[in-house]
Amino acid sequence: MNRCYGGLEQRLEAFGNFTDFCWEWTGCLSTSGYGRVRIGGTTSYVHRLVVEWSTGRTLAKGVQVDHLCRNRACFRPTHLEAVTPSENTRRGLSAKLTDAQIAKIIGERAAGATLVVLAERYGVHHAHVSRICRGLRRAGAGGCA
């Protein structure tokens, strides 16, 4: 099935927050935090369209896109990889932090540790540490002071 990518570049430019790390979608997000866009009358996930567009290949049914940075709003091609559902689940589980680790991150950040240092220490992307500190991860875990 060929998809219509007309207007995708313009949408990415208009709704992308381009940082040195992630390229975050600032347009419509799904309830689980993935970027969504309507092109040619069809609503699709931004990260899937970007993988197809950047590789020139249509993703097979059932193939998932892993966000290597663990940031669901990210659409930077180097942060995305087409994988099987089981591989995507395995990778996601390996990136999970315990409540104790989250509490340590919050405490260490409040004491002055940088996002990058904490990300390296706990094996996650700095954007994930930032979301923890802003209270966007784990309801009730608080946030960094």
- Print pLDDT tens along the chain (145 aa): 344 455 889 999 999 999 988 999 999 999 989 999 998 889 999 999 999 999 999 999 999 999 988 899 999 999 999 999 988 887 775 567 888 888 999 999 999 999 999 988 887 777 778 878 887 654 444 455 4
Say if strands 80-83 and 64-67 run parallel, antiparallel, or are unpaired: antiparallel
User: What's residue 35's pLDDT?
Assistant: 96
Map out the domains of the chain with their CATH numbers: 8-93 (3.90.75.20), 97-133 (no CATH)
To which H or E segment does residue 71 belong? none
Amino acid identity of residue 17, one-letter, is N
Q: Which residues lie below 8 Å from residue 18, measured CB to CB, with a gap of 6+?
A: none
Are the C-beta atoms of residues 23 and 71 closer than 8 Å to each other?
no
The confidence score (pLDDT) of residue 88 equals 83
Rounded to two decimals, the pTM is 0.64
CA 145 to chain centroid: 24
State the virtual CA torsion across 108, 66, 93, 143 in degrees, nearest 10. Answer: 30
